[in-house]
Amino acid sequence: MAHSVILPRATFFYAFGNTSAEILTDGLPPEEGLHALSIGCGDPRNILYTVYADRFAGTRELDITCCDVEPAILARNILLLTLLADTGKDSDTAIWDIFYHFFISQSSLALLHQQCARLLAVSQSIRQWLDGPYGKYIRPRSAHTLLDMRAYWSKYAATSSFTAAQHEHMHRTMAEGISRMGDQHGSEGVETACRSAGPFWMEMMRSGLASDHFVHYWKHGVVGGALCAAATSVNPTFYYTALGCGFCLHYGLDPILGFHLAGIFAPIKGHLVNPSIADVGNYVKREFAVWCSAFRARLEMPSEFIIRPYVGDALPFCRALGGEKGQSVSVWDGRQIVLIDALAAEPGAMAPASFNVIETSNITDHIGLFNVLTVTIPLLRQSPSSILHTHSLLPASGKTANAFLERVGIDSTTLSLLIGLAPLSLISQFTTKASIDASNPMADEAVRQYSQPIAWKYPASGDHTAVYGGTAYCRHVMADPAQLPNVLFKLYSHVFAIDEMRKNSLTFSPAIVLHVQASFAAFLKLVKGRVTTDWSCVMQRLFDKIVADSDRSPMVRSNFFHDFALHAHLLDVFTYEYSFPAFKDPVPSRPALFTQWPTTPLVVHVVVSVPRMAFQILMDLPILVVGTPMLQCEFVVPNGCQNVFSTMQFTFGKLTVTGTADNAAATIDRDESGWQGRAPAILSVAAPAQLLAGDARMTSIRLCVRGNAPCARNLMPVLGPELVLYSAKLEGEGVAVVKNAPFVQDSDRLSSDLLSADSSSIPSQEPVLAVHTTPDTKKSAPTLLFAPGNEVASHLSIRVDFLSASSKAKLAQKTAAVEARQFSACAVTLLVRAADKFEDVVVFPFPIDARDARVRAARKSGYVEIIVRVASADPAVLHGGFNMNRMPVVMSRGHAYAWNLSILNLDKLPALELPQPRAKIEGWLKPLLSATFSDRQLKLQRASDKSDPFVNLKNSIAILTLFASGAGHDGEVWRAMSLTSKGRVGGYTLIFVNAIRLDLASHSVLLDVCLLPLTHKIMPEVRLVLQELHAIHGGVRHVITNDEERDAWKKMLPACVERCRTWTHEAGCAYAAGRIPLTLAPVESPICDCGRGKDIPDSEIVAQCKGITHLMTRAAIGLAYAVPYLEDGGVMMNKATQSLGRAFEGNSCGACGKEEGKLMACSRCKRMKYCSGTCQKKDWTIHKGLCAKIAAMEL
């Protein structure tokens, strides 16, 4: 393992999700199949919603591998999915109850028992399962997965024969658990469901439904609207978990969190004016029902649909997928991972070991971002559409920007260059997903948390010049061995900052240590595979820096140094001579422990049988005292030297040692009862042999609680100052030192002829070594250049060798000017201006800014070195990178798709019913539109500063949305609008709004439109329709743009079309030439003709434009939000809230806080007060964003 070992004394059960469902395919072009890996998968809501919401879910291949360390979660998931397959919609209510209610009716319980009996009948072996009724679409990735899930189905089924006394015990245990959760964590004021309401979070909060429903659920065990009186039976799927039986549902869970609650408050068809708790429950059950129907229908379709569950820890599972042998199921389960590669129905096919979508839920909060990146990046396919999703719930740190950057520890651009993957929002400098937390000015800053989803992609894959044969450009980079150690040391220091101690005081961190020494060693292995340098030199300098730094914190970092050195050695990163001296025979004095060994190994495994009583003291203490103790293994020698190791393996069972010396072998007869059994826990830890060179009779191995664990202070009076749980001598009873890790015997393993341990299915993931290579030139790998005096990669350089005689001759001409010009986001054009000009395209692996590109020409030697600046991550810098085209369309394997916009099924998104009272629309829409701007951008927008074309573009989208909704200054709902240039050009694109729709997964809104780029050729037809519109509606609403913004619109429109495309591009599509958009000319179309007249909805505006519908192309124009970790956002809104609080708390000025004198109320909201017109004018920029909402508040 590569994360802290936690004693699972108090583990919460996440039976279902706490965030609204997302679409797994929203980053894939329609023609591409889904091969997804979901780690920390939780419930299957994303699968169900994807099948429902993805227009192409019925035709595209869907292959989804789901991993969770809690077997009860996957047992419940498979129970749910097979229930859906075996029943019709009449059973949806009972299925809902089984999955979401912890108290259910007798009839629902009977259905549960019946389904478990079916599952048990077909799961006696992996072969039986794969050949059975569910094997076509549910295929476990290992035999142990089926075994573990089957154990829970058996427990669920066994409750059907419980006695009255047993049922009473279940009831009592559940009631006590629920009461305990309420006592420890409370149940009032829980507003988590507001996040799932998206843009209607304030309406959800003001209604009190979030808190009220939470209280109702935890009181009755059912959602609102369900029959409480009928729910008399304990749901056994909430009763059994890996820790045994009882009730440990996470205290913050509520079934409504996993659904899209915006529809409860949005003005859509069927919405209620004053929804109740029952309405909330019925709403989410209806959404669940349509997902269920879609899932059943998908099972009947011929295209492949496979769900592959896996029980175990995510990190070793990912390593096993990557081909690493010897991985264990989890830190408390030493069974070796043996993956099933072959498919039952298709013996020649193989299960995927690389993926185009990797979803990690919020697992980074539990095991650490670097751990997640280290194991998932090698599994991500090198495709422009491949995407890795991470999610974090981060505490506020003053600025939203700091939360993510503090977690990374180094410059995010530098990190991206080292690992070959970058946050999409970093390089695009916008996101399509609204941050409800960041836009919530009502949250208390002291307790505010930010939900921060990050999509990671290959950084150059959005540039068409960097896509070669459908593969993303992902070259190794080179780095100076003198500079790279500084970067890595800074990262090391940040990752282990929690280990720091002051010399004379012990400080306790409230957080769990997410990364251990093995984590950083594994990260170095990832970097080693992607950076070309003198690696031995880099590592020697890094280790020397760490050793020197240990002198400043001798109590901590030096104790863990051998742990780091060990894993660096085991992972073939580096062998540090101090930790691994060369043992040569004969030697004057051999380590006593190894005198009988032919040779002294560098690494040995120490195996200890830890009696169950060693843990009992923690089991007997109250949970609030014990908390979540982190464990570590310590080697202590008589002279007081102490070496600590954080990476260990535990297995419950009986230890047997056979043989002696180097032939000794340890075997563990595993007890499948785990924590519920009585067998000792067999501890295995690897260690450098030289640490055991002392007197084995005096050297101790200890199992301890880590000193900076959250519970350490509480446990010192019980365990002593060194927090020792168990201690034994190396030559004591129950301790063995062996050459290899113990072998775990698992007598209950399900036999199968489908098991494969050699991972032969793993495809090559070697980086593409060259793109756009010509017979004339050869490009070197790009070199990272660091800014003087710091660890930030500021520039990239590439050497271009001229190969052909003609190209060399042109370069050799002394009068030939050599220059590099920006060609695209990640490429430059190399120009040699000889008598006969020479051109070549040079591609970089990251967005660049070539304004000040330097070219060094070695004319005699025949090469050129190009040095360019890395594109700035500061959105205020308007040059270079994807500033050239913020929303590119990329051609991959002949298919076009929007690279950084989510793909949508417009017909599955709810449409607003308009018109509505203007104040009602403004109340939620204007704050949402304001949230698309950072504070910097908002100042530009409100000052009418047109210097930033992207701000202008976002402002025009906001204007279009306001006019289309009836929230514009005239209060009219406009369906026909024109993008219009100042001057002679005039209107250049007509936009016909079919509807404003809720983008549920993004917590946003978008315009469902038909586009009509105006050209001279079509104007005669268009002019007649415009005249008719003028007669009916008063014409077309014009949105004025300048020339720079016009170019931005023409670059964006192809992406707006592609993100909702339902048709296939024709063979002769104009995009095939690689130029997208087709043109920026004012009176020419930037989009191809393939979508003209296709999938045009029967909307009101389309019905009025029948004469030109054959010229229209459907598109989705959505909002582009500022990125919280790049620029401050919401600060102005927060200031408004603070001044609002001052005004409401007392009779004071909302701007300056002055209390004396006469105060005047704002004429609009009637609530905010000011001491003078000057104060009101000063505060208006801040206040006007909330004025309408304040007016609507009931205070």
472: enclosing H helix or E strand: strand 471-472
Q: pLDDT tens digits for 1112-1135?
A: 999 999 999 999 888 887 666 566
Same domain for 835 and 810?
A: yes
Note whether 1019 and 1035 are same-domain residues: yes
Please check whether residues 751 and 806 belong to one and the same domain.
no
SS3 for 659? coil
CA dihedral over 495, 496, 502, 507, signed as positive or negative = positive
Q: Torsion angle of alpha carbons 1064, 1070, 1074, 1076, nearest 10°?
A: -90
Same domain, 1106 and 1157: no
**What are the start-end ranges of the H helices in 409-458?**
412-419, 424-428
Same domain, 820 and 960: no
Cα 851 vs. chain centroid, distance in angstroms? Answer: 34
pLDDT at 728: 94
Among 246-255, 376-385, 749-758, 842-851, whose mean pLDDT is lowest?
749-758
CA–CA dist 12, 33 (Å, integer): 35
Check pLDDT > 80 for residue 1140.
no
Question: Do 792 and 902 belong together in one domain?
Answer: no
Residue pLDDT, tens place only, 360-390: 998 988 888 999 999 999 999 999 999 999 9
CA 1053/CA 1011 separation, integer angstroms: 9
pLDDT at 554: 46
Q: Select from 1118, 1142, 1160 the last residue of a domain.
A: 1118
Res 1138 pLDDT > 90: no
CA–CA dist 375, 320 (Å, integer):
10
196 pLDDT above the threshold of 50: yes
C-beta atoms surrounding 540 within 10 Å: 16
Least confident residue range of 27-31, 713-717, 900-904, 1158-1162: 1158-1162
For 267-325, the pLDDT digits (tens) are: 999 888 899 999 999 999 999 999 999 999 999 999 999 999 999 999 999 999 999 99
* Among 617-631, 718-732, 954-968, the range of highest mean pLDDT: 954-968
453: Cβ contacts below 8 Å, ≥ 6 apart: 389, 390, 391, 433
- Indicate whether 160 pLDDT > 90: yes
pLDDT, tens only, 163-195: 999 999 999 999 888 888 777 766 666 888 999
Beta strands across the sheet bearing 387-395: 305-311, 62-68, 34-39, 357-359, 387-395, 449-457, 422-423
Under 8 Å between Cβ of 438 and 1130: yes
> Rounded CA gap, 661 and 594, in Å?
7
* Confidence check: pLDDT of 507 > 70: no
The total of structural domains in the chain comes to 5
Q: Which of 894, 913, 945 is the last residue of a domain?
A: 894
Lowest mean pLDDT among 51-65, 172-186, 618-632: 172-186
Answer yes or no: is 803 within a domain.
yes
Q: List pLDDT tens digits, range 421-456.
A: 999 999 999 999 997 765 554 444 434 566 788 999
- Nearest in space to 231 (alpha carbons), one of 77, 405, 109, 385: 109
Same domain, 1074 and 941: yes
Question: 65 has which bridge partners?
Answer: 37, 308
Does residue 738 sit in the same domain as residue 793? no
899-937 exposure pattern, b = at least 16 Cβ within 10 A, e = fewer: bbbbbbbbebbbbbebeeebeebbbbbbbbbbbbbbbbb
Which domain range does residue 540 map to?
480-570
What is the 3-class SS of 24-85, one letter each residue? CCCCCCCCCCEEEEEECCCCCHHHHHHHHHCCCCCCCCEEEEEEECCHHHHHHHHHHHHHHH
**Which H or E element spans position 515?**
none
What's residue 1161's pLDDT? Answer: 82
Sole residue written with tokens 């999700």: 17
**Is the model's pLDDT at 110 over the cut of 60?**
yes
C-alpha closest to that of 614 among 744, 732, 704: 704
- Separation between Cα atoms, residue 984 and residue 981, nearest integer Å: 8
> What residues pair up with 359 in beta bridges, in sequence order?
38, 389
Give CA–CA dist 620/54, Å, rounded: 50
Pick from 734, 766, 798: which residue ends a domain?
766
Q: pLDDT for 326-345, tens place per residue?
A: 999 999 999 999 998 754 44
- Who has greater pLDDT, 862 or 691? 862
- In which band, very low, low, confident or very high, does the pLDDT at 759 lie, cut at 50, 70 and 90? very low
The first and second tokens of residue 876, run together, are 């205020």
Average pLDDT over residues 1040-1048: 96
Is the pLDDT score of 904 beyond 60? yes
What pLDDT is stored for residue 1094 in this prediction? 97
Beta-carbon contacts of residue 777 (< 8 Å; ≥ 6 apart):
800, 801, 802, 803, 807, 840
pLDDT at residue 60 in the model: 95
As given in the structure block, the two tokens for residue 1016 are 């001279």
Both 917 and 998 in one domain: the answer is yes
- What contacts 719, CB < 8 A, 6 or more positions away? 617, 705, 725
Cα–Cα distance, 1115 to 1061 (Å, whole number): 8
Residue 793 belongs to domain with CATH number: 2.60.40.790
pLDDT band at 1190 (very low <50, low <70, confident <90, very high): low
Alpha-carbon distance 338 to 315, whole Å? 15
- Residues ≥6 apart with Cβ < 8 Å to 1150: 1139, 1140, 1142, 1143, 1168, 1169, 1170, 1175, 1179, 1183
Query: Considering the domain boundaries, does residue 710 fall inside one?
Result: yes
Q: How confident is the model at residue 510 (pLDDT cuts 50, 70, 90)?
A: very low
Give per-residue burial for 368-380: e unless 16+ CB within 10 Å, then b. bbbbbbbbbbbbb
Residue 3 in domain: no
Does residue 1178 surpass a pLDDT of 80? no
Q: Which residues pair with 688 in a beta bridge?
A: 603
Tell which phi-psi region holds residue 1069, choosing left (phi > 0), alpha (psi between -120 and 50) or beta: beta
Q: Is 616 found in the same domain as 644?
A: yes
pLDDT at residue 509, as a whole number = 41
Q: What is the DSSP annotation of 233-301?
A: EE-GGGTEETTEES--B-TT--GGGGS-THHHHSSBTT--SS--HHHHHHHHHHHHHHHHHHHHHHHTS
- Please indicate, yes or no, if residue 698 is contained in any of the structural domains: yes
In terms of Cα–Cα distance, which of 693, 16, 746 is closest to 328? 746
Q: Looking at the structure, do residues 907 and 1015 belong to the same domain, yes or no? A: yes
The answer to whether residue 286 sits within a structural domain is no
Residue 1192, pLDDT > 60, answer no
939 and 1042 co-located in one domain: yes
- The answer to whether the beta carbons of residues 1085 and 1017 sit under 8 Å apart is no
Q: Which two tokens stand for residue 531?
A: 């950076």
Q: What length is written for the chain?
A: 1195
The residues facing 993 across adjacent strands are: 1009
| Mean pLDDT, residues 801-829 | 94
* Runs of H (alpha helix) within 695-796: 712-719
Report d(CA 510, CA 1027) in Å as an integer.
69
Query: What is the rounded average pLDDT for all residues in the chain?
Result: 88
**Ranges assigned E (strand) in 723-771:** 724-729, 735-738, 743-745
Least reliable range by pLDDT among 341-355, 426-440, 1146-1160, 1162-1176: 341-355
Nearest CA to 1001 out of 76, 305, 52 is that of 52
Residue 126 lies in a domain: no
Region 401-428: mean pLDDT is 85
Segment 1052-1064 mean pLDDT: 97
The answer to the question of residue 46 being in a domain is no
Picking from 440-444, 667-671, 997-1001, which range would have the lowest pLDDT averaged per residue? 440-444
Q: What is the pLDDT of residue 508?
A: 38
d(C-alpha 1105, C-alpha 506), whole Å = 75
Give 913-972 pLDDT, tens digit per residue: 999 999 899 999 999 999 999 999 999 998 899 999 999 999 999 999 999 999 988 889
DSSP string across 803-859: -SHHHHHHHH-TT-EEEEEEEETTEEEEEEESSS-EEEEEE-SS-EEEEEEEEEEET
CB-based contact 464:414 (threshold 8 Å): no
Start-to-end Cα distance in the chain: 53
Q: What percent of the chain stands above pLDDT 90?
A: 66
Cα–Cα distance between 843 and 1191 in angstroms, integer? 55
Q: Is residue 959 part of a domain?
A: yes
Q: How confident is the model at residue 1176 (pLDDT cuts 50, 70, 90)?
A: confident
The answer to whether the Cα torsion of 350, 354, 359, 361 is positive or negative is: positive
What is the model's pLDDT at position 760?
A: 38
Per-residue pLDDT at 475 exceeds 90: no
